[in-house]
Amino acid sequence: AQRVTQPEKLLSVFKGAPVELKCNYSYSGSPELFWYVQYSRQRLQLLLRHISRESIKGFTADLNKGETSFHLKKPFAQEEDSAMYYCALSGPGGFKTIFGAGTRLFVKA
Amino acid sequence: NAGVTQTPKFRVLKTGQSMTLLCAQDMNHEYMYWYRQDPGMGLRLIHYSVGEGTTAKGEVPDGYNVSRLKKQNFLLGLESAAPSQTSVYFCASSRDSSPYFGPGTRLTVT
């Protein structure tokens, strides 16, 4: 069965500290993986996708097929990074995207 | 381009009442989705559509119905609202992957 697991509901770090948001997935096949961000009372926005291998707002994520993980990392957290982060996966063709429960990141000054 | 729009933005219903949430997209996307967002549960897929005239059940379809009569519109219906359906509802659309989301509809059922 398809599943996305984000083990941390809340992650609190100080400004300038490294941050890692964990995501593990279960999927029989080769999924596409994404990270979405939701700032307070706003719509979800795509942060990055594994196939593009890009860095957005200083965030990167590496797909580890052996560990079935797609952790989101940033070396130096900023206060404006405080938001809700969702890991998501979709099957071939990109449809039926499912999401994890989300991790709330709080960056303290 | 407006992207994905949802109406209404807010709604309060009494138990047993019915309503329809409307989603519209102007990006010519084939796929459309309805999710509900609840604290601690993340986003859960209610129903989705892979094209005009087709719909399919997601993770939590019970109590909801959908229709996709036009490619650009995806309607979510609640026939008899229950307090457990109090949630924020997000519509999304995509062409191949990475769904683009609407602003959400906050629904309260009393």
Q: Show the low-confidence residues of chain A (pLDDT under 50).
A: none
Successive 10-residue mean pLDDT values, chain B, 110 residues: 92 97 96 93 92 94 97 96 96 87 96
Q: Which positions in chain B touch A85 (Cβ < 8 Å)?
A: none
Tokens 């992207």, located at residue: B3
Instruction: Flag if B97 and A86 touch (Cβ within 8 Å).
Output: no
- How far is it, in rounded angstroms, from Cα B45 to Cα B57? 8
A35 Cβ neighbours under 8 A, 6+ residues apart: A21, A23, A46, A47, A48, A49, A59, A61, A70, A72, A85, A86, A87, A88
Tell me what pLDDT residue B98 has: 83
pLDDT digits 0-9 by tens, A2-26: 899 999 999 999 999 999 999 999 9
Task: Please state, for a pLDDT cut of 70, what percent of chain A lies above it.
Answer: 96
- Going B25 to B27 to B29 to B34, the CA torsion angle's sign is negative
- How far is it, in rounded angstroms, from Cα B101 to Cα B110? 27
Tell me what pLDDT residue A97 has: 87
Q: Residue A25 belongs to what H/E stretch? A: strand A24-26
The beta-carbon neighbor of B104 closest among A6, A9, A43 is A43
- Tell me the three state secondary structure of residue B85: helix
Confirm or reject contact between B98 and chain A (CB < 8 A): yes
Q: Which positions in chain A touch B46 (Cβ < 8 Å)?
A: none
Tell me what pLDDT residue A93 has: 63
**What are the φ/ψ torsions at residue B80 (nearest 5 degrees)?**
-145, 90
To the nearest whole Å, the CA of B15 is away from the closest chain A CA by 26
Tell me what pLDDT residue A94 has: 63
Tell me what pLDDT residue A50 has: 84
Single-letter amino acid code for the residue at B80: S
Tokens for A11, please give them.
Answer: 């992650």
Confirm or reject contact between B35 and chain A (CB < 8 A): yes
Tokens for B58, please give them.
Answer: 């997601």
The beta-carbon neighbor of A95 closest among B41, B44, B48 is B48
